[in-house]
Amino acid sequence: MTYCLGIVTKFGLVMASDSRTNAGYDQVNVSRKMYTFVQKGEKVFVLLASGSLSCTQSVITLLQRDFDKGEGLATATGMYDAARIIGEQVRRVADMDRPSLERDEYKFNVHFLLGGQIRGERPALFLIYPQGNPLQATEESPYLQVGETKYGRPILDRGIIFDKTSLEEAAKYALLSLDSTMKSNVTVGPPIDLLAYEVDQLTITHQRRFNAEDTDLTKIAMRWQAALRQAVARLPTIRFPAAPQKPEESIQLVETAGGETTS
Amino acid sequence: MTYCLGIVTKFGLVMASDSRTNAGYDQVNVSRKMYTFVQKGEKVFVLLASGSLSCTQSVITLLQRDFDKGEGLATATGMYDAARIIGEQVRRVADMDRPSLERDEYKFNVHFLLGGQIRGERPALFLIYPQGNPLQATEESPYLQVGETKYGRPILDRGIIFDKTSLEEAAKYALLSLDSTMKSNVTVGPPIDLLAYEVDQLTITHQRRFNAEDTDLTKIAMRWQAALRQAVARLPTIRFPAAPQKPEESIQLVETAGGETTS
């Protein structure tokens, strides 16, 4: 399993990924899922990959080969075009591998997140589906996830606001979202790759890998757990009505005696 | 979709469920998923149901019919036996409906949570699978969930400790877990039924239904969101190394220069 996420705000982008891959339950490996393509001062692309490692590697290899020749992503004039270029490579690998995979009942199931900026445009964040079509993050939905997405979502839903969340805060939310996922699902695991990109930087300066024993990561996870417990303790005690509100009675109860039981 | 959870601690049980049911995306209804069976001073059973409403209703109807005649759950002499009695009814309904459902490619997919206590025993919490077999919560895994379980799990993983978490705190965790799930998945929705059962009470006194507009629920959700954001703001800022740690370099980097980059 995998968990990758991207956050886009007014201030830039945060991209984060775990590094655990597994083939079945008894073959677990470490493999990075974050790839960067940079033309300093012109273009920055950050790609996060989930799905069959064999297929995502193929896509990355083809993208890298083109990029090194000044083709493909190197020629993209906008982030939407960049997302389409990645989608084309996904379709190319699908054409090569999908029939053989499906014959043995494997799914062709690669997903990519693309974050980045091209000079003259705003930073943007896309999800590219296994079918090659792109979905863009918006101000209302300023983050995108791939892989094991559910455990890490509530903290993002409560925290990320396009206009307000600073890059520093967004980086913390990304790390907490990954930490929540790792705590609940062992098939998502460290090292964690984290990258923060500030608007108009057009190069990559803030990138860090956290290993399992990273003291900063451990400290943040411990402090977070303590802060959550404290926050729960400080919430008002839940009041129960004098007579138990059985489910079948309660709609009635709330309408007629709501004031007594809930305020 | 559905989300139900049960928590068992040294101090008793907390059971909670949402009330949204849907047949497809355009037929959404409210239906309770919490059922109680009580012989005051002798036995308390709380059942939470997820899966096809038609099938879970059948199981409950059969259990209720027996209980009212002094049979079935009314005769259980221990919580394990009670879980087995429910499993038997699940199998009975499966025998009646499963072949016809499967012919039209529906799955027989009912899950029940059973929490309760029988005089002379400790309170206990079980999950009963669609196949009828029971799984018991333990001191190491003191909560069980059915339905849309992932969004609401991280908060439980961080908070619930069998020996330490009071019933009041457990009730808050259950409500927060449901609130997180409702925020991330619209197919889980209010009213929320919440029940807290204290060890050796052998009756039900603390039961409450929260409608969507319940002021206590709204207040808790808002205060929780504010507390989370504040907790994130208070976490130490994430430091990035002077030179970006590219994923491919980082294992090396951490081993040779970890002190410089992470502390």
DSSP B222: H
Strands of A3-9's sheet in order across:
A143-147, A3-9, A12-17, A192-198, A206-210
The pLDDT value recorded for residue A247 is 61
Question: Which residues in chain B are closer than 8 Å to A237, comparing Cβ atoms?
Answer: 168, 172
In the sheet where B12-17 sits, what is the strand order?
A: B143-147, B3-9, B12-17, B192-198, B206-210
A250 part of a folded domain? no
Residue A221 lies in a domain: no
DSSP secondary structure, B7-18, as one string: EEETTEEEEEE-
Instruction: Tell me the pLDDT tens digit for each residue of B190-205.
Output: 899 999 999 999 999 9
- Chain A residues with CB inside 8 Å of B154's CB? 151-152, 154-155, 180-181, 183-184
Q: Would you state the pLDDT for residue B256?
A: 28
Residue A236 has pLDDT above 80, yes or no: yes
pLDDT at B248: 56
Structural domain for B117, as ranges:
3-228
**Are B223 and A239 in contact (CB < 8 Å)?**
no
Q: Do B245 and A176 touch (CB under 8 A)?
A: no
- Using a pLDDT cut of 90, give the percent of chain A over it: 82
Residue of A208, A230, A237 to mutate, testing the B interface (most B Cβ within 10 Å of its Cβ): A208
User: How many other CB atoms are found less than 10 A from the CB of residue A187?
Assistant: 17
Q: Is residue B250 part of a domain?
A: no
Given this model, what pLDDT does residue B167 score? 96
Alpha-carbon gap, residue B30 to B24, rounded angstroms: 14
Q: Which residues of B touch A263 (CB under 8 A)?
A: 215-216
Nearest CA-CA distance, residue B20 and chain A, Å = 13
The reply to whether residue A169 touches residue B232, judged by beta carbons under 8 angstroms, is yes
Residue at A236 is within a domain = no
Instruction: Please name the residues in contact with A145: beta carbons below 8 A apart, sequence gap of 6 or more.
Output: A3, A4, A5, A6, A113, A152, A153, A156
Instruction: For residue A244, tell me if it sits in a domain.
Output: no
- Report yes or no on A109 lying in a domain: yes
**Residue B146 to chain A, least CA–CA distance (Å):** 15
The ipTM value here is 0.82
Confidence (pTM): 0.85
Q: Which two tokens stand for residue A157?
A: 């839903």
Q: Which residues are CB-contacts of B263 (< 8 A; sequence separation ≥ 6)? A: A215, A216
The predicted-structure confidence for A33-80, as pLDDT tens digits, reads as follows 999 999 999 999 999 999 999 999 999 999 999 999 999 999 999 999
User: How big is the A-B interface in CB pairs under 8 Å?
Assistant: 195
Can you say whether the dihedral through the CA atoms of A263, B2, B3, B5 is positive or negative?
positive
Quick: pLDDT tens for A202-222: 999 999 999 989 999 999 999
Cβ A42 vs Cβ A202: under 8 Å: yes
Chain mean position to CA A233? 30
Q: Closest to B180 (Cβ–Cβ): which among A154, A183, A223?
A: A154
pLDDT of A145 higher than 90: yes
CATH number for the domain that contains residue A69: 3.60.20.10
CB contact under 8 A, A168 and B237: yes
Report how far residue A235's alpha carbon sits from residue B224's, in angstroms, rounded to the nearest whole number: 7
Element (H, E) at A202: none
* Domain tally, chain B: 1
Give the chain B residue nearest A166 (alpha carbons): B233
Give the residue-averaged pLDDT of A189-199: 95
Burial of B84 (0-12, 13-18, 19+ CB in 10 A): middle
